[in-house]
Amino acid sequence: MHDIHPELDHVLVPDHSKYRAWHGKEIRVGESITLGDVREHGLHPRIVEGTVTAAIGDQQVTLKDYKSLVAITNKGAMHPLHISGNRYSIIQNEDVWRTMSTAFQGVEIPYKLTCVGTLCGLRRYFISVEIGDGNGFEVNGDKFYGNINFLTSHDGSLAFRAHDSLTRVVCNNTFINSLAGGKNIDFKVYHKGDATAHCDKLGEYLNAVLHGRVVFTEAMERLAAIQVADADIEAVVGGYFLNKAFERGEKLERFSTRTLNQVQGIAALARHGLGNSGRSMYDVFNGATQYYTSGDGVGKTTSAGRRAYSSEFGTGADRKQEFSRYLIKGQYNTAADEARTVLMAS
């Protein structure tokens, strides 16, 4: 029945909501959904890790490369969720709520929480926020769909996602439809590394987006106006890696094979990536962006603002931000000359 586990899961809506949710099994709370409501109804269980053992006859063996994920409910009951690899990082539902709260701090755009819930036996969690009248809104000239959904899982099925959507999440079917539909904002935090810190960064960044302080928009227009010769692209890209080495206290006489492959990969995408022609610093920026998102660029027909809205929060995102600062600050003007010499020696 649509992954409904009424003994574990609950879906909350405001008392005045005209929508039905979770196939008529929603819980109506006060004028607005509060953190107190969410905690009271068990939507923020504590997710903990445990060891994984296998019983073979009368012997037990510990699977050292794996761990179990268990939800501890308000009543202290433990509910198994998933067996993951050891590198999996937990993102608590409370982290997702905090990210959402940070994102909307001080924004002037009208918004309201329309639905919050857990699904699939506490394995999925969502917050659906309606912006304006739900028919869409505009920030800094970029148009967005009328709901921002915050979605995560505890069973390895998806990263923590924050995106705009035409779909208001009220059950698992709409949860899936929301992920599949068109998006303008689409952020991801993967379950690895310091996921809590990445959630904090996501909240701050999305807050900047909603305030209209779009990172890069004006800078991208400036980069698009700076022409670059085809023969200079590798040197411009190589200068970034020289600067990174200098920050580590190293002076490179030649690039390693790995670094050279990165230089060539970014340069190739600057020339031939989606929407790129290798003619401006904007193309070089897009080459790096596409390279650090596994080649999944969104193309030059997409606005610079929207390009800045789509990102993963982790190492790849850090590299993209560092590369953009390198270009925006004009550091390539001096670094590219030295990089030519290093490239010739590599």
Print burial letters for 296-319: b (CB count within 10 Å at least 16), e (below 16). ebbebebbbbbbbbbbbbbebbeb
Per residue in 68-81, pLDDT (tens digit) is 999 999 999 999 99
Tell me if residue 101 falls in helix, strand or coil. Answer: helix
Cβ 97 vs Cβ 113: under 8 Å: no
**Strands of 160-165's sheet, edge to edge?**
27-28, 11-13, 111-119, 124-131, 147-153, 160-165, 186-189, 310-313
pTM above 0.75, yes or no: no
What digits encode the pLDDT tens for the residues 114-160?
A: 999 999 999 999 999 998 776 776 655 556 678 899 999 999 999 99
Separation between Cα atoms, residue 278 and residue 229, nearest integer Å: 8
Extended beta strands in 100-255, E state? 111-119, 124-131, 137-139, 142-144, 147-153, 160-165, 186-189
Region 272-281 average pLDDT: 89
Distance CA 128, CA 119 (A): 14
Residue 37's SS3 state is helix
Residue keyed to tokens 């929060």:
313
Ordered by start, the domain boundaries in the chain are: 11-40+90-210, 217-345
